Amino acid sequence: MPKVFMIKVESILKWTVEGSLLKKLKMVRAQILSKNPNAVAIPDKDLHVTLASGPSWQKLRREIRGNDFDEPDFPMEIDTSIKTMERGGKQSWYIKLRNQQDWKEYVMDLLQGTSDSKRVYHISLANLTGKVGDSVALVEDRDYKDEYKKFQSSKKRKKYRAELNRYNRQKGTYGNGDKQDASHKKGKIVGFEDESVNRGRAEKSRLKKTVNEEITKSDLDQIEKYADKLFIAVGVDVEFTRHFLDRANDDRNKKPISMAELIGLFKRTYRKYGKVIPQLGAKAQAVIKDMTTDINVPFVLNIDREGMLELVAKTVMRKRNFKTSNRELPI
């Protein structure tokens, strides 16, 4: 019997619902209809979890088929508390999925960094027409003030501001209130321009990028937790050096290394080499080479104080044709 793929590649990327989960959803939907006279049921065949949508998804859609993807390997857990949302003349009744982080990591791995980090994974059960396209797209509002604070507190931005201040002092313009900013082009200061023009262009560029482009310590902790969940099955604990975080955010990578790319790297490494890596033994060194993203992760195997095998990721870099004398593990 051919395998049935629950992931559907359409105008959106979605995971369809069936089996015991569908039965639960039908019970919740019945409650919605009994208490809300304006609610119209969305048909069983249209119940789904939206995984990706929008411009980024449309770019990928032509190259992808549903059977290119692995199905989720975690339990489908729903929050049975019914929620509703109104927007733009539409109204939806929906339930959220409990394991939001599992879904987020799953989509990040599928799409290699093009996922919407603010998406709330949910299933719409009813709306005002019963047509699935008339449901409210549920994505959390962005906290632009918080985003900007995180953006400006990064090491890269602090270094950038220090460079601008130094340039102003050299020119004798520091703190003179002339409303002129030092302007950058291709990473170099080329002179002064009106501050409203310079800052407006910089903010517009920032908002187009993923929130908090740099990988933070918190992000790396999440990646380590994800990798540990995989490798614990073969008795390996994953650790990162301090240098790893610095190198992940290094300008020499050219294109920033994303959290999604690293999660995908460890997932594919486990699948291909999960049983091989422990057999390399303590003090063995090797390099994981992601042939799709050009990300390289050199690591060493150590024995920790409790006698457990430890995979220590020493550094990371995005570099095509990376040369090493150690064993290579291409993925």
- State the pLDDT at residue 211: 41
- State the pLDDT at residue 195: 61
- State the pLDDT at residue 61: 72
Contact 183, 198 (CB under 8 A): yes
100-129 in b/e form (b: 16+ CB < 10 A) is eebbbbbbbbbbbbbbbbebbbbbbbbbbe
- State the pLDDT at residue 210: 43
Judged by DSSP in three states, 300 sits in: strand
Could you tell me whether strands 309-313 and 236-240 are parallel, antiparallel, or unpaired per DSSP bridges?
parallel
Separation CA 263–CA 227 (nearest Å): 7
- State the pLDDT at residue 153: 67
- State the pLDDT at residue 261: 86
- State the pLDDT at residue 99: 85
- State the pLDDT at residue 322: 92
Task: Give the number of residues written for the chain.
Answer: 331
- State the pLDDT at residue 238: 95
C-alpha distances (whole Å) from 195 to each of 4, 169, 177, 199 are 57, 17, 11, 6
- State the pLDDT at residue 284: 94
pLDDT along the chain (331 residues), means of 10: 60 87 93 92 94 76 60 84 87 91 79 65 94 78 53 67 76 72 64 62 48 73 90 94 91 86 90 94 94 94 90 94 93 90
- State the pLDDT at residue 4: 43
Contact 316, 247 (CB under 8 A): yes
Separation CA 282–CA 278 (nearest Å): 8
